[in-house]
Amino acid sequence: MSHQTPLGTSVPPDNCLDLWREKNDQLVRQAKVAEDSRLPLRRQQLAQDALEGLRGLLHCLQGLPAAVPVLHLELTVICNFITLRASLAQGFIEDQAQDIQRGLERVLETQEQLRPRLEHGLTGLWNSILHASSTLLELLPVLHHLAGLQVALWLSTDSLGDLTLLLQTLNGSQSGASEDLLILLKTWSPPAKESDAPLTLQDARGLRDVLLTAAAFRQGLQELITGSLPRALSSLHEAASGLCSRPVLVQVYTALGTCLRKMGNPQRALLYLVAALKEGSNWGPPLLEASRLYRQLGNTVAELESLELLVEALSVTPSSEVPHLLIEVELLLPRPDPASPLHCGTQSQVKHLLASRCLQKGRAEDAAEHYLDLLALLLDGSEPKKFSPPPCPPGPCMPEVFLEAAAALIQAGRAQDALTVCEELLSRTSSLLPKMPWLWEDARKGTKESPHCPPWVSATYLLQGQAWVQLGAQKEAISEFSRCLELLFQATPKDKEQGPASNCEQGCSSNVALQQLRAAALISRGLEWVASGQDAKALQDFLLSVQVCPGNRDASFHLLQTLRRLNRRDEATALWRRLEAQTKLPQENATWSLPLYLETCLSWIHPPDCETLLEEFQTSLPEPCDL
């Protein structure tokens, strides 16, 4: 076989080639010794020394003109260098693509084909080399090894189009061949290297198996997120049967549990979650998924126990396995984002989920304790003290956490503690509160202070009023409700043309939330007027609450009772007929949700047994009732 080499090139003498090869083999053996070391510092030093040795050897080889007899060793050194560097960095970095490109360019230099191909980038280089491989048969095994590293790099950066084209070329596929990544990886069969070839840290076939597992897992997660559940189940099963370390297997089993839960098979899902918990110390994702599963099944006790265990698990740094000095599945997986079923958040986020679920399920005492623990965690300096809503919050913003904590404390009968929490929140937000109407208008347009502050502050006054009600301090309660209303009637909901609001903005300043907040304050103050025997003042507040929030049936029921006490029968009868008509209409599901603290406040002012009230009023009507 004849090889074309550029004019002026010279092949190094055999003794130099043997020395370089022995240097490569010695550095590979050193890296394997480092991998087996149980002393972290010695392991790191040996591996780093091996990396620098490979870097120097590569620099020496590429300082000479490209020549076919040396290329096999040079490409092997590139593969070893990229593998060791990626494993030490626990991921690929941008300039590793340049290492691959330089190796490919050196191959084409020996074929005098470089210049016409450079304009096509890496994809063009690979296409040229693999189609010319019939003249470079001795380089085929190491070229497939280098191609495997290229696949790994493109997989880690989601360059799936380039990756698919490369695998099709490696498989010798013609146009119209399968574009399924898993099928292409299964079809790819890297040639076995010669027995006397230079040593490598990882062979091409082992790398192929790692790529197949990682690709199956990545694909399964994406299909799970997009809702392609049967395909996700198939991909995740493929990943589970591959080369998985224990930490990866925990993630795969958790994703399988999520998929099966969403497919309506909770018992099989639970089996996978139990298996995930048995596999390793990273219990976060399976415990969070277990809480979702138990919530779906209506098992509140098991749900809350799962969340409590998750809080404990996140407070402990999990023991991590020492990574091998190879390309492993972990290196090719994306970091879990909030949309991923493997994202379990921070300890404070899970603590908030636990506290809020306790509050929603009527476990007020537990909720109060969890909220106090959460506030201590947020304010001890380990968490950001941010009092404006983030762009894409995973939960409520900080002021809402304070408000929920206060609501939980009131619900638990700890009014004095609730007042303390409210005072803390006011001390942190009062400086943001616009003092004049024109300042508030600027704030609403986003040119001055936070436009979300007044609803937070007014909600704080509402909760302080409810705390004073619980303490029997009627005067203080009415004063706080009045302060709340004064602020609320200055606030203007976010304009629609300003674009979609974040979750936190929606909770604080949406039309519905402001309407319900105003209604809650008016009803709360009205009830205090009723308790003090001032039905005329109560009537004004109940009438206004019906006007500002027409859909609030509680306001209408309180108004009906007040009209009845004041003996205003005609108005009471007209209102009763409207309420009767509404009860016969099909109930529509609400398309909006309220902040948890506001839902809790509204539960306190809900009139007991509304249906009985309507029946009693009907019996008091004169017969016949012709209107």
Q: pLDDT tens for residues 319-338?
A: 666 777 889 999 999 887 88
Q: Using CA atoms of 477, 482, 487, 489 in order, give the dihedral in degrees to the nearest 10.
A: 140
Residues of the chain with pLDDT under 50: 1-9, 384-394, 435-440, 443-444, 446-451, 494-509, 624-627
CA distance 615 to 554: 16
Q: State the Cα–Cα distance between residues 265 and 229, nearest whole angstrom.
A: 12
Query: CA 354, CA 249: separation in Å to the nearest integer?
Result: 27
CB atoms within 10 A of CB 316: 10
Token pair belonging to 157? 């950066």
Q: With contact defined as beta carbons under 8 Å apart, do 246 and 321 qualify?
A: yes
Who contacts 415 (Cβ-Cβ below 8 Å, separation ≥6)? 409, 467, 468, 470, 471
Identify whether the C-beta of residue 235 lies closer than 8 Å to the C-beta of residue 220: yes
3-state secondary structure of 120: coil
CB 65 within 8 A of CB 9: yes
Closest Cα partner for 257 from 309, 221, 214? 221
Q: What does the alpha-carbon distance between residue 462 and residue 518 come to, in Å, rounded to a whole number? A: 10
In which element (H, E) is residue 40 found?
A: helix 40-62
Neighbours of 317 (CB within 10 A): 7
Q: What is the pLDDT of residue 128?
A: 83
Alpha helices (runs of H) in 119-203, residue ranges in sequence order:
121-131, 140-156, 160-170, 181-187
The DSSP-derived string for 286-340 is HHHHHHHHHHHHT-HHHHHHHHHHHHHHHTSPPP-PPPPSS--GGGGSPPPPTTS
Question: Residue 334: which residues within 8 A CB-CB, separation 6 or more?
Answer: 158, 218, 221, 340
Confidence at residue 196, expressed as pLDDT on a 0 to 100 scale? 86
Residue 207's nearest CA partner among 131, 259, 129, 152 is 152
What pLDDT, on a 0 to 100 scale, did the predictor assign at position 448?
A: 46
User: What's residue 12's pLDDT?
Assistant: 65
Q: Does residue 425 come out as left (phi exceeding 0), alpha (psi in the -120 to 50 range) or beta? A: alpha
> Under 8 Å CB-to-CB from 129, ≥6 apart: which residues?
104, 107, 108, 136, 143
What's the per-residue H, E or C state across 45-101?
A: HHHHHHHHHHHHHHHHHHCCCCCHHHHHHHHHHHHHHHHHHHHHHCCCCCHHHHHHH
User: What's the full length of the chain, in residues?
Assistant: 627
Contact 273/253 with Cβ under 8 angstroms? Answer: yes
- For residue 511, the SS3 value is helix
Distance, CA of 279 to CA of 256 (rounded, Å): 14
Measuring CA to CA, how many Å separate 427 from each of 149, 187, 430, 439? 57, 66, 6, 20
Report how far apart the first and last C-alpha atoms of the chain are (Å, whole number): 109
Residue-level pLDDT at 193: 84
> What is the reported pTM?
0.83
Residue with tokens 């509160």: 433
Contact 424, 400 (CB under 8 A): no
> Cα separation of 21 and 24, whole Å?
5
What's the confidence (pLDDT) of residue 10?
55
Q: What is the pLDDT of residues 6-39, one digit of tens each?
A: 434 455 666 788 899 999 999 999 998 888 877 7
Please state, in angstroms and rounded to a whole number, the distance separating the CA atoms of residues 549 and 52.
71
Residue 105 CA to residue 333 CA, distance in Å, equals: 29
pLDDT of residue 94: 79
pLDDT at res. 492: 56
